[in-house]
Structure 1
């Protein structure tokens, strides 16, 4: 799986630390297609590093200004002409990082901090299977709290979320609404209200055209799923939902880091979309987030 090497991650961090908070936030939005909400420079930096496909891709981003790269090289003891264009600075930076990676591969770590980073995803791990199992569990759990179904309530609550979990809810029905929630308690309660108070029933499409999952090298698994939404015997519309999952080292359970939920009412849909909702996010879109 592609992604930043240990050396590239360490060196990119040096450049990102020079950026303003607003530029970091903007860069994070670009790298993740605005699917991950970050609340601080630290979160933005970590998100950018985790979801960047390659060092060259990051250096070419508009928010990574020429002056940032120029200053970075100067601090590394590499003098470049003051008139150097950005592409020349990028080329020299990548050459520098290649030499550092070579030293590292020969047992000469270029930076002591590099040893702190590890790859957490097992090479034999299949995120698609996890995605199917997770969706069966999640929607069964959430739907059980709909009074109309008359089911025994399952164990829903903030314990299934990371403390800093985030929810972005975008609904396009008779009017368009965008809601955002932060914190395990608020996220948990807002999702519960969808079934308990608004009486919605979520029916996910767990076939290959409705479910995709990918894993980043750093332990985050993205699960994207499409499906239909019902109330009693009526089909109200369709949904697309992306989950960010990270395994807890304490209890070895997968917990929810973030959720992006898009709901479209029947009025805004064509008949074929209602009968067989499929994902608008393709594998390339998710790879952009997970690489």
Structure 2
């Protein structure tokens, strides 16, 4: 039977909860050679854990897709490049569980209300709960956000992730400035409108956003009142063509009534087309705003 440690069992259970019901039931049949018939998905998860010899075996199962492991690591606050292959994600996950077991920590989601202290998050947008390093906080949020947004682009062939107004505060504000010759500015207020406008960028306009998660392309800071500011620069693509660069600033606020998750309070986005770039480096664009300017947003 299972020889999983406590941290491995806890982690494997979280991964199983991210799987579709169809894949979960299929995996249950696989690990038991169809000798056990389960009644529901809860029983399927417990059966899979009971018949799994070790964590690596489970992670390498075909039904445990790469995107599932990536999403799990994102929820745990572990920053991984979006281009990571499955074997790299498996290795990092095993390292995470091994480290947790070594120090004997029992991580409880939402165990602290202080951004700078350690606690395990329970949604991809809650990385601020566990990270003292605000740069890692920003990296993880942007990795989660842009992977989710890009997954809506039909030309990429990815399974669309859970995009929607639920990730935004009801009074969220989007300010979108685009410059490709003439400058155009749009403003949207409300979770549904903001969500729909951002979705249109990838789903309808088929844009693909590639954020620069290196220090010169990303900044993150927190205010004493709980607002988290994340700013990132990156390139915009359509198919194989680079169309220009973007700079995006997010304001995040904790949502204590929804399992300690974080929601987006405002988004300021600037897009510059190729025609507006004069000798600029577009492969890894740097932020033009500085920490002082971001700090001013904390008082908004």
TM-score, normalising length: structure 1? 0.57
SS at match of 1:217: coil
Q: 2:240 aligns with which of 233, 240, 243?
A: 233
Query: Which has the larger displacement, 269-278 or 168-177?
Result: 269-278
SS at match of 1:190: helix
1:243 aligns with 2:250: yes
1:208 match = 215
| Unaligned stretches of 5+ residues in structure 2 | 1-112, 118-131
Of structures 1 and 2, the one with the larger relative CO (CA 8 A, separation 6+) is 1
1:222 match = 229
CA deviation after TM superposition for structure 1 residue 205, in Å: 0.2
Q: Name segments (4+ residues, structure 1) moved above 6 Å.
A: none
Query: Which has the larger displacement, 270-279 or 237-246?
Result: 270-279
* In structure 2, C-alpha distance between the alignment counterparts of 1:215 and 1:190, rounded to whole Å: 27
1:168 match = 175
CA deviation after TM superposition for structure 1 residue 247, in Å: 1.1
* In structure 1, C-alpha distance between the alignment counterparts of 2:134 and 2:297, rounded to whole Å: 14
Contact 1:121 1:217 in 2 (8 A): no
Give the structure with higher Rg (CA). Answer: 1
2:193 match = 186
CA deviation after TM superposition for structure 1 residue 121, in Å: 4.4
1:278 match = 286
1:145 match = 152
* In structure 1, C-alpha distance between the alignment counterparts of 2:201 and 2:115, rounded to whole Å: 35
SS at match of 2:155: helix
Contact 1:121 1:218 in 2 (8 A): no
1:156 aligns with 2:137: no
1:261 aligns with 2:269: yes
| Unaligned stretches of 5+ residues in structure 1 | 1-119
* In structure 1, C-alpha distance between the alignment counterparts of 2:235 and 2:187, rounded to whole Å: 22
CA deviation after TM superposition for structure 1 residue 274, in Å: 1.8
SS at match of 2:139: helix
* In structure 1, C-alpha distance between the alignment counterparts of 2:248 and 2:115, rounded to whole Å: 25
* In structure 1, C-alpha distance between the alignment counterparts of 2:116 and 2:161, rounded to whole Å: 33
Q: 2:140 aligns with which of 129, 133, 145?
A: 133
Q: Deviations over 1:115-158 (max 9, x none)?
A: xxxxx644544332221110000000000010110100000000
TM-score, normalising length: structure 2? 0.55
Contact 1:244 1:258 in 2 (8 A): yes
Contact 2:235 2:245 in 1 (8 A): yes
Q: Deviations over 1:36-69 (max 9, x none)?
A: xxxxxxxxxxxxxxxxxxxxxxxxxxxxxxxxxx
Contact 2:135 2:215 in 1 (8 A): no
2:101 match = none
SS at match of 2:280: helix
Equivalences for residues 15-26 of structure 1 within 5 A: none
Contact 1:171 1:263 in 2 (8 A): yes
CA deviation after TM superposition for structure 1 residue 278, in Å: 0.4
Contact 1:166 1:187 in 2 (8 A): yes
Contact 1:121 1:215 in 2 (8 A): no
Contact 2:153 2:206 in 1 (8 A): yes
